[in-house]
Structure formats: structure tokens, C-alpha cells
Structure 1
Amino acid sequence: MKQIVRIFLAASSLTVTAVAQAEVAVIINAGSSAAPTQAEVANIFLGKSKSLKGVDQKDWTPTKEKFYSAVTSKDEAQLKSYWSGLVFTGKGQPLPSVLGDAEVVEKVSSADDVIGYVDKSAVTDNVKVILTLP
């Protein structure tokens, strides 16, 4: 019984380590010539820039958390508060969102003016990585 518990704990710690080490890729269409900086990406996802159309992920996943933390320095509560303020004052609307990495890749690969973020493992040949967040 003790050995089973040890194996379970070891496997759990490996899973946590793998999740913690997952990288986030900021992606654009493979044929796009756009190359925004990290600051420009932040402005796109905060609705301050319309140079590219950002596509967000619907649920607050580890990928979304890592992206917003690294790019905008905002957590879930801060981001909700930020968008609530813009909506209330009529100055902006949150970005359109999709359910997960596969849908982000699909949206980005189908248009030259769309930018998104996914777990790096979800990247395909139809998109180009412009920024990797460790």
C-alpha cells in the first residue's frame, strides 16, 4: 500500500512539474507579415490597439493565466475588473472568445489579421509563433 501511495505521489509531482513548465505561444496566421512586440500584444488584448483582432480563450485555464500574467501583468480578478470598467463607461468590449487551443488555432489560421495564444503543444504549420512565454 505504501508503495502505491509513493508511486501516485511521484506521478502527481511529475504532472505538476509538466504543467508548470508548459509554454504559451502567441500566434498569428502563417502568411501574415505582422510582428507585434510584447507591449503591442498587451495593447491588443486589453482593447487599446486594433492593429490585429485578438481572439481570447473563454475559460480561465492555466494557458490563459500564464498569458495574461506575463503579457499584461493582470490576474483573473484584475482582468474582469478592467473589462467591467470599459464596458460600464462604453469605452470597450471584451475580445471574442473561443473554447480552447484548437479553436484559437482555427480562427488564427483562417484570417491574416487575427492573433491568439495557445499552449505551445497546440501550434500547427498553419500559424506562426511570434512570442513564446516560458
Structure 2
Amino acid sequence: MKKLLSALALLSCTTLAHAEVAVIVNAGASAAPSQADVANIFLGKDKSLKGVDQAGWNPTKDKFYSAVTSKSESQLKSYWSGLVFTGKGQPLPSVAGDADVVAKVAAEADAIGYVDAAAVNSSVKVLFTLP
């Protein structure tokens, strides 16, 4: 029984490690920002779309920020602390998880977010995926 549980735990960790992250926009959106544009949106430098962030730090958020902005959790916290302290910016609004990101992006024409690719449905459009 212990071996079976260990194998299942290892399999679930492997699956999580290989999950793709999808960057999504509203299904009716005509804008198709590049990966560099997406980085600027999520760093508060580009206001052309409203970024929808995920609350807390999870594997999806880690993969997204590492790949798109090249920032770790501590680097991102430091970045936003500096902007808030100098009055030059505020962190993006965040929601609880993938389902909430999809719902918010589907409801707002100018929203952009990121989710586990398995959470994508027809109410949003995928700009690109991160392996």
C-alpha cells in the first residue's frame, strides 16, 4: 500500500511539473500582445490590457512569472514593493485561482490572465502557452 501511495504521489508531482500554462484574453479580443508585451502588462509598465493575477504563489504562477518576466517570487515581491513605496504603481488585482481568472477574463473585454491550460474553455482565447 505504501508503494502504491508513493507511486501516486510521484505521478501527481510529475503531472504538475509538466502542466502547461495558458495566457488568455477575452474571446472577443482583437489585441494579440507578444510575450514581451505580456511581461510589461504584468509588471505594470503597459496599461493596454488589465492583468488578472492569481492570489498566493502556486505552480502556475511560478511557471508564468519565471518564463514571461524572468522573476522569482522574491524578486517579484521586491519589484512591487519598490513601486508601491515610490508611489509609481500598485500590484495587479488578484483572484483565487484558475476558474476565477477564466471568469474575470471572460467577463471583461480588456482583461488578460494566465491559467493552467486544462482550465481553458471556450469563453476565453489562448494567446500562447508555456510548456
Give the TM-score category using the shorter length: over 0.9
SS class of match (2:91):
coil
Equivalent-residue separation in structure 2 for 1:93 and 1:133 (angstroms): 26
Off by >2 Å, runs of 4+ in structure 1:
none
> What letter corresponds to residue 37 of structure 2 in structure 1?
E
Give per-residue Cα distances to partners, 1:73-118, cap 9 Å, x unaligned: 1111100000000000111000001111111111100111100000
Residue in structure 2 matched with residue 81 of structure 1 by the alignment: 78
> What letter corresponds to residue 107 of structure 1 in structure 2?
K
> What letter corresponds to residue 126 of structure 1 in structure 2?
S
Show structure 2 runs of 5+ residues with no match.
Answer: none
Equivalent-residue separation in structure 2 for 1:131 and 1:45 (angstroms): 15
Equivalent-residue separation in structure 2 for 1:39 and 1:103 (angstroms): 24
Equivalent-residue separation in structure 2 for 1:80 and 1:13 (angstroms): 30
Count of aligned positions: 131
Equivalent-residue separation in structure 1 for 2:121 and 2:56 (angstroms): 22
> What letter corresponds to residue 117 of structure 1 in structure 2?
Y
Q: How far did residue 13 of structure 1 move?
A: 1.2
Alignment counterpart, residue 40 of structure 2, candidates 40, 43, 48: 43
Equivalent-residue separation in structure 2 for 1:101 and 1:7 (angstroms): 29
Residue in structure 2 matched with residue 68 of structure 1 by the alignment: 65
Equivalent-residue separation in structure 2 for 1:11 and 1:52 (angstroms): 40
Q: Identity, % of aligned pairs?
A: 69
Show structure 1 runs of 5+ residues with no match.
Answer: none
- Which of the pair has more CA radius of gyration? 1
Equivalent-residue separation in structure 1 for 2:14 and 2:5 (angstroms): 14
